Amino acid sequence: MTLNRPEVHNAFDDTLIGSLTKALRDLGRDPAVRVVALASKGKNFSAGADLNWMRRMAGNTFEENVADAMKLAEMLETLHRLPKPTVAVVQGPAYGGGVGLIAACDIAIAAKDAARFALTEVRLGLIPATISPYVIAAIGQRQATRYFLTAETFDAADAVRLGLVHIAVPAEALAATAQTVLTSLAACAPGAQAACKELVSAVAGRPVNTAVIRDTAERIAKARASDEARERIGAFLEKRL
């Protein structure tokens, strides 16, 4: 998927949010799709919310604003919960909601010298509300508090250190690095990948108690009995994989 609004720095409005949500749902249901890469045209990955859209919505009622914000929240949740691996390929600056898109993906790769990141909402009297679950999960509560409050800009190296980005490479190596990651993902079992995403969501942040231990045991028992695992294990032992 490629964001293609370079004239507005790939900012998103209600129309783009609707298009993204539909496209993601279609990709999630398509068995031929193994991996989803999210990229952008132009110099910027995404400037987040389109400010003309924000200004227009400011004149609406509270209930209308909640309904509108819920559409953005649903798009981010659809991206985060997609039953396919997702990879953000960040070629340039990402601000506000653009950072949220990256955090909602499973893996993020960024151009070392070109990518910049900032959570700029407070400069405009706004807050990074709908993106906060994903950004906080990516960089942690303490760091999120800092960057939510200061709106500081940080580079790709800092994004790696914080946990927002997994890999930072020179711009000329971005496409090849992304392709290597996508190829690795496509070589794995799709059912197991979907189950892994569910596993992380189920276990993250929970204490290791009897319920968690039982849940993880049931999950591996289910995976062992799957047709996918039987075929893949057989193929490996027979040197077909």
Cα separations (Å) of 62 from 66, 71, 152?
6, 15, 30
Q: What is the pLDDT of residue 49?
A: 86
- Percent of the chain having pLDDT more than 70? 100
pLDDT band at 111 (very low <50, low <70, confident <90, very high): very high
The answer to whether 134 and 104 are in contact (CB under 8 A) is yes
The pair of three-digit structure tokens given for residue 20, joined into one six-digit string: 């993204």
Measure the CA–CA gap between 66 and 61, rounded to whole angstroms.
9
Which of these ranges, 32-36, 47-51, 113-117, has the smallest mean pLDDT?
47-51
Determine which helix (DSSP H) or strand (DSSP E) holds 111, and give its type and residue range: strand 107-111
pTM summary value: 0.94
Q: Which two tokens stand for residue 151?
A: 């709106």
- Residue ranges covered by each domain of the chain: 2-186, 190-237
Domain 2-186 has CATH 3.90.226.10: yes
Residues 6+ apart with CB under 8 A from 238: none
- Model pLDDT, residue 52: 85
Query: 63, 74, 77, 121: which one is catalytic?
Result: 121
**Residue-wise DSSP of 45-94:** SB--B-HHHHHHHHTS-HHHHHHHHHHHHHHHHHHHT-SS-EEEEE-S-E
**Higher pLDDT residue, 9 or 53?**
9
DSSP calls for 136-198: HHHH-HHHHHHHHHH--EEEHHHHHHHTS-SEEE-GGGHHHHHHHHHHHHHTS-HHHHHHHHH
The HSE-up count of residue 205 (CA atoms within 13 Å, CB side) is 8
Residue 165 CB contacts under 8 Å (≥ 6 apart), including other chains: 90, 102, 108, 109, 110, 115, 156, 159
121 is catalytic: yes
Residue pLDDT, tens place only, 192-224: 999 999 999 999 999 999 999 999 999 999 999
41-50, 54-63, 127-136: lowest mean pLDDT where? 54-63
